[in-house]
Structure 1
Amino acid sequence: MNAANKRKDTMDVDKNAKRVKKECSYGDKCYRRNPAHLREFSHPHLEAILDTSVGGDYTIPPELSLQRQLILEQLEIIVEKKLYEPRSSSTKTPDPPPAKQSNNAPQTIKTDQKPESSTSKETEIKLSRDVKDSKDDKNSFASNSDKKDTSIKGDGEKKAVDSGKTKDDYRPIVPPTRRATEYLTVVRPEGKMAAKHAASAPYHIFYTTIAAAKETHSQPTSITFLEILDRSLGELQCSLQINFMVEPAWLLAQYYFAGYSEKKLTILYGEECADLKNISTKKPHVEAYQVPMASPFAKHHTKMMILCYEDGSLRVVVSTANLYMDDWENRTQGLWFSPRCPELPPDAMPHDGDSPTQFKKSLLKYLAQYRTPMLSRYVARVQRCDFTHINVFLVASAPGGHFDMEFGMTRVGSLLRQHCSIPRSEQQRWPLLAQASSIGSYGKEPRLWLTGDFLHHFTKIKEQPQTLSQPPELKLIYPSLENVKQSHDGLLGGGCLPYAAEAHFKQPWLNSFLYQWKAKSSHRDKAMPHIKSYTRTSPDNKKSAYYLLTSGNVSKAAWGNINKGNAALRIMSYEAGVLFLPKFVINEDFFPLEPNAPNRLIIPYDIPPTKYTSDMQPWVMDYLH
């Protein structure tokens, strides 16, 4: 991962080695292989193995023998990334000849690595203990079936699959043999999500449960990943996960505990992940595709799910969270979980069953941007489902030049120009609250983009003034250093806030727009925000004109930059969000924000926001170095 990304594998190794690590709460049951996690947390059982290793030989204690493959992979990552310096490293001797061992002796794993200058590393694994593969499969999070998925042709080529429900396509539920409570921090009762989802109408907005804030565990709008897969919503047939960062072990564990360890799973991802490159060879029911990007500054940043059920229906989830454990524990995330979209009659046309918001049309247009046959199954499912009851607009971004106002900030502006009901006489009195987890580079002056094109499009109204006037106030909500210090995870809580000191040094004027992260009303004050949301509030803070929940931060890469020559909107990244407009959701002009109001819109942070004090500075990732 490069230095511009959230989890920086190129951090100063010496500094990280000296920093005192917090011990992983999972102990020797930790199944994670993410370098960021192994860097941030201490794992005594792995460190003990490294401390006693000689040369390339690792002695695995008998009580951990069933986890030998997982432990080997974790050790390889720690050694390769230099995340731990063994205490006995200075006295190590050359590799001795392999010794014979009895069946009851501890298992020895030999790892031979080529010099660092080699372009590819080859690892030879020698196991001295004979353990049957079937025994390991029973004790893995997601065991492989003997059945092979015939839709996968080689590592890279995927054949379009007819997603119609057939007997051959059915993959049974596999009840887990382990309890989720042994591995997951917060586990809600099974079978309750359908009722919880119904009670969330008309918004269907949820915020992730905060592990360290027990008050959030029972909130009706709190959700865990496992609840998204709850069988009360229907039996899953296949699912599409579109995301930026993916931790395969964590994600597959969620499917395992849901009983879906053999269900078809397709993953589109952005951030480099070695475990996903050839995952189909180990997990035939899982296929993965890394979305290519034209620029190193561009990101495949979308967080979306399409969940297809055995009865032909589907649900769409648009989220702000990566598929990574930290993002679902002590960070504030938001997601929209669509109602069930039933299957259309057999004679229906692909464009039938769209909503007044044209959500289906927008979703199909967004999926078409990927130009990969791997999505043909899910495109066909979307075409055959009824979206007429969806009450939100899909607002997405895709790389390239756009003239049609279908993506990015021109999409936002076009919709607000048609439907935002703020009176012209009050236009300047309704501020824009832009809440983000990262800040872009805007130039020497705010008018070059931030208070120029960006603010202009996000504050359009139906009665748009025809003459130039003073724009509404912009309040940019982003955590200060003080906010992060008091978070549940201390400074590590800022790991999801990748703003750089170098960027802030070039735009010191930004401080006058900054507001703190305060969320006491939702018990998320100490859960740093990875959520991104935008709204405009009334002068008395009792009403909202709209609410946009999205993966897009306040940046040119996410929302685009208008070319002054041909007026094309140039977008660099993939993003996805949903726009809530009162007329379509509650048939009113504005959303109520007061606590006891009917159909209240719940926003996770405190309104009105609190401005930075004169001595405050925004959080920058450099504080972690």
Structure 2
Amino acid sequence: MNADEEFARKLQLQFDAEFETQEKQMKEDAILAQKLAARSHNLSDSDEDDVIVQSTMATTSSCGTVKLSQNEKCSETSLHSMSDSDADNDENCGDEQVKSLATNSQADRKVNNKPPCKYGAKCYRKNPEHLKEFYHPGKDEVEPLNSEESKKEFNPPPLKKRKYEDYKSRYQKDFAARHLASAPFYFFLNKAYSVKETHEDPLTLVFPDLLSNSLGDIVESLQLTFMVDLEFVMKYYKKAGLEGKPVLIMYGIIEGQPSDYQNLTCKKVDIPIQYGTHHTKMMIFLYTSGIRVVIHTANLVEDDWYEKTQGYWVSPVFPPLGNGKSSLLEGESPTQFKQSLVNYLLAYKVSALGRWANIVKGYDFSSCNVMLIASVPGYHTGETMHKWGHMKARRAIKSHAGSCKNSLPIVMQCSSIGSLGKDAKSWLSSELGISLAPTFEKTASQPKVDIVYPSEEEVRTSSQGYLGGSCLPFNMATYAKQMWMDQHFHLWRSEGRKRSKSMPHIKTYTRPASPDYSSVLYFMLTSANISKAAWGQLQKQNTQLFIRSYEVGVLFLPKFIIKESEFKVTYTREKNCLCFPYDMPPTSYPSGTRPWLMGVGRKKPDVFGITL
């Protein structure tokens, strides 16, 4: 056995030991999410043209419970925990903290299975039989809240049936027009159905918008995703008149039978590295007139699109090279997007994606103004090390982004956090931070990092209550081992985009260019959370980058998009200004605030009276 094999063997044993200690907690998280989803309001299947909308919109969640085939049964929560939490943490600190938090969690956790009284906390009845039969938020197992305003929150709104068309504002143009008007960024968020203010935002979309014939005549399409609900996806393909058009779906987890749909091919992505996952979210649409790429953060399941905050880069249509040409070099952009996309598709080593790589070669991407930043599993060395993960981001930002004062932080906004080590210097600031701030002067200190991640209170008062945290699988055991992160946490605030109540499944990275955060040096939208599995970890004296998972994102650089050195931050559509998904500067957690954690009991009811 050579030195490399011995090193890999020892590393794998280390990873296995760490994973075993976390596996039990992840299973508990899955059970918790299942209970929460089971107690929420469900969508009706009675009319496929109708959508039942309510403030909780509890459907198959991006991290809730999913029905799976017999050989793939598990909860989305546990899978998100595996994908977004590094199993490669070699630290053993915090065991007492884990034990203490777990003990408190078990003592606090109490899920009430009684049906809720229709009068909620305002019920005046004192009949013991009534109190025994129905659940009363504020009266059962929890202390009554003091304010009348808080009590009002406990009355869930009645179910309402609304046609999908009800969400198309009469003030909005068709999506093709809105897409054209979104240039040069082509950056969108989704409409959060229970947050009405988001319906009027011209820089928002819904899944059917991407299938609209106003964007072009789709010949065939490719979907790469972690999770897919075939009924959800194919329903909208059918409504768009695309039934029978070839669709290839590369996935990690699937619900539904591909054989039920015409011309649909589904392939599970093989992950060569243990505990890695196929976390990529990308679409490619082939039209009669060209090709379009969509890179985003939403799983292909209802709740991800209906309620959570997601981000989407929707490219313009890239025309064919002409004369039947197919070339990797012709039709390339200054951002090298075409070559990066082809290399990413080929990295799967799957013939079906090799075909799509050849299709991409036949189109002119010269107008593409973003860079592709992707991760593929493996041990990357030499020049290959700079093609993937945070090392690709490091080279891109160092080569093309402007500079700022060292005192200004990197802002990382995510939906989950992996095991990062005993302190920020272990990986967060020393490795990922340096990559996202390559102009940082080498001093005794390292780049400051601000993390935007929802607090427990923000989830409790969100549009879905505690169910809003179903896509935030930050694990209690992981947090207990790295409570140094408290000094980095910032609230999820999106008053500028009217979506503070819509919990974020979006992931973004940026660095301010000015002390007032009115401008930024770059902006990245990606599927990658803050984890070593997603971004990679340097090994062997920084000569090797080890990555576990598939990820993909796009890097917006002022140099290529507006021919300037920085983007001005705004919250409405303005010429050459980046419409940000959350408020800048971020607000630090108030003293005593705890991040949202899976697997923690909560006595205080959420806005629908639910406790955990």
**TM exceeding 0.5:** yes
> 2:463 aligns to what SS in structure 1?
coil
1:569 match: 545
Matches within 5 A, 1:328-343: 328-343=305-320
Radius of gyration: which is bigger? 1
C-alpha change, 1:39 and 1:264, in structure 2 (3 Å) is closer
**Which of residues 384, 395, 408 is equivalent to 1:414?**
395
> 1:26 aligns to what SS in structure 2?
coil
Provide the C-alpha distance between the structure 2 equivalents of 1:429 and 1:544, rounded to a whole number of angstroms. Answer: 14
Matches within 5 A, 1:410-489: 410-423=391-404, 426=405, 428-461=406-439, 465=441, 467-489=442-464
What is the CA-CA distance between 1:325 and the residue it aligns to? 0.4
Matches within 5 A, 1:587-602: 587-594=563-570, 598-602=575-579
**Which of residues 184, 199, 210 is equivalent to 1:217?**
199
2:517 match: 541
Matches within 5 A, 1:601-616: 601-616=578-593
Provide the C-alpha distance between the structure 1 equivalents of 2:69 and 2:185, rounded to a whole number of angstroms. Answer: 46
> 1:539 aligns to what SS in structure 2?
coil
The question of 1:551 aligning with 2:551 is answered no
Provide the C-alpha distance between the structure 2 equivalents of 1:286 and 1:10, rounded to a whole number of angstroms. Answer: 33
Matching residue's letter, 2:544: A
What is the CA-CA distance between 1:598 and the residue it aligns to? 3.7
The question of 1:202 aligning with 2:184 is answered yes
C-alpha change, 1:275 and 1:76, in structure 2 (3 Å) is closer
Provide the C-alpha distance between the structure 1 equivalents of 2:538 and 2:67, rounded to a whole number of angstroms. Answer: 46
> 1:521 aligns to what SS in structure 2?
coil
1:126 match: none
CA contact (8 A) 1:439 1:555 kept: yes
CA contact (8 A) 2:570 2:580 kept: no
2:247 match: 265
Provide the C-alpha distance between the structure 2 equivalents of 1:612 and 1:620, rounded to a whole number of angstroms. Answer: 15
2:94 match: none
C-alpha change, 1:12 and 1:181, in structure 2 (3 Å) is closer
CA contact (8 A) 1:262 1:285 kept: yes
CA contact (8 A) 2:429 2:447 kept: no
1:24 match: 42
C-alpha change, 1:196 and 1:598, in structure 2 (3 Å) is closer
Provide the C-alpha distance between the structure 1 equivalents of 2:357 and 2:165, rounded to a whole number of angstroms. Answer: 33
What is the CA-CA distance between 1:223 and the residue it aligns to? 0.6
CA contact (8 A) 1:208 1:223 kept: yes
Matching residue's letter, 2:526: T
What is the CA-CA distance between 1:229 and the residue it aligns to? 0.8
Provide the C-alpha distance between the structure 2 equivalents of 1:193 and 1:244, rounded to a whole number of angstroms. Answer: 26
What is the CA-CA distance between 1:363 and the residue it aligns to? 0.1
CA contact (8 A) 2:333 2:367 kept: yes
CA contact (8 A) 1:6 1:498 kept: no
Matching residue's letter, 1:306: I
Provide the C-alpha distance between the structure 1 equivalents of 2:495 and 2:341, rounded to a whole number of angstroms. Answer: 35
1:516 match: 491
Normalising by structure 2, we get a TM-score of 0.73
> 2:334 aligns to what SS in structure 1?
coil
What is the CA-CA distance between 1:567 and the residue it aligns to? 1.5
Provide Cα deviations, 1:148-184, integer angstroms capped at 9, x if missing partner. Answer: xxxxxxxxxxxxxxxxxxxxxxxxxxxxxxxx96468
**Which of residues 266, 282, 286 is equivalent to 1:288?**
266
**Which of residues 341, 351, 356 is equivalent to 1:373?**
351
Provide Cα deviations, 1:503-560, integer angstroms capped at 9, x if missing partner. Answer: 0111111111101101111011000000000001121211100000000001100100
Matching residue's letter, 1:459: A
The question of 1:300 aligning with 2:278 is answered yes
C-alpha change, 1:310 and 1:191, in structure 2 (3 Å) is farther
Normalising by structure 1, we get a TM-score of 0.71
Provide the C-alpha distance between the structure 2 equivalents of 1:222 and 1:525, rounded to a whole number of angstroms. Answer: 15
The question of 1:527 aligning with 2:502 is answered yes
The more displaced of 433-442 and 186-195 is 186-195
Matches within 5 A, 1:348-427: 348-351=325-328, 352-403=330-381, 404=383, 405-423=386-404, 426=405
What is the CA-CA distance between 1:199 and the residue it aligns to? 0.1
1:162 match: none
Higher relative contact order (CA 8 A, sep 6+): 2
Provide the C-alpha distance between the structure 2 equivalents of 1:191 and 1:18, rounded to a whole number of angstroms. Answer: 38
What is the CA-CA distance between 1:326 and the residue it aligns to? 0.3
Provide the C-alpha distance between the structure 1 equivalents of 2:566 and 2:325, rounded to a whole number of angstroms. Answer: 36
CA contact (8 A) 1:186 1:224 kept: no
C-alpha change, 1:16 and 1:476, in structure 2 (3 Å) is closer
Matches within 5 A, 1:46-61: none
Provide Cα deviations, 1:474-500, integer angstroms capped at 9, x if missing partner. Answer: 101111101101110000000000111
Matching residue's letter, 2:271: M
Provide Cα deviations, 1:72-109, integer angstroms capped at 9, x if missing partner. Answer: x98999xx999xxx99xxxxxxxxxxxxxxxxxxxxxx
Provide the C-alpha distance between the structure 2 equivalents of 1:389 and 1:455, rounded to a whole number of angstroms. Answer: 30
The question of 1:497 aligning with 2:478 is answered no
> 1:573 aligns to what SS in structure 2?
coil
- Unpaired segments ≥5 residues, structure 1: 41-72, 88-179
Provide Cα deviations, 1:287-324, integer angstroms capped at 9, x if missing partner. Answer: 0000011345211000000001123x110000011001
What is the CA-CA distance between 1:613 and the residue it aligns to? 1.4
1:170 match: none
Task: Supply the RMSD in Å over aligned alpha carbons.
Answer: 3.3
CA contact (8 A) 1:432 1:475 kept: yes
Provide the C-alpha distance between the structure 1 equivalents of 2:36 and 2:467, rounded to a whole number of angstroms. Answer: 16
C-alpha change, 1:310 and 1:76, in structure 2 (3 Å) is closer
C-alpha change, 1:490 and 1:354, in structure 2 (3 Å) is same
Matching residue's letter, 2:44: Y
Provide the C-alpha distance between the structure 2 equivalents of 1:563 and 1:551, rounded to a whole number of angstroms. Answer: 23
What is the CA-CA distance between 1:286 and the residue it aligns to? 0.1
Matching residue's letter, 1:228: L
2:297 match: 320
C-alpha change, 1:16 and 1:540, in structure 2 (3 Å) is closer
2:79 match: none
CA contact (8 A) 1:26 1:183 kept: no
> 1:562 aligns to what SS in structure 2?
strand
The more displaced of 15-24 and 332-341 is 15-24
Provide the C-alpha distance between the structure 2 equivalents of 1:529 and 1:377, rounded to a whole number of angstroms. Answer: 34
1:168 match: none
Provide the C-alpha distance between the structure 1 equivalents of 2:214 and 2:24, rounded to a whole number of angstroms. Answer: 37
- Unpaired segments ≥5 residues, structure 2: 1-19, 52-57, 76-112, 115-160, 602-611
Provide the C-alpha distance between the structure 1 equivalents of 2:585 and 2:409, rounded to a whole number of angstroms. Answer: 10
Provide the C-alpha distance between the structure 2 equivalents of 1:186 and 1:7, rounded to a whole number of angstroms. Answer: 37
Q: Percent identity?
A: 36
> 2:200 aligns to what SS in structure 1?
coil
Matching residue's letter, 1:585: I
Matching residue's letter, 2:46: D
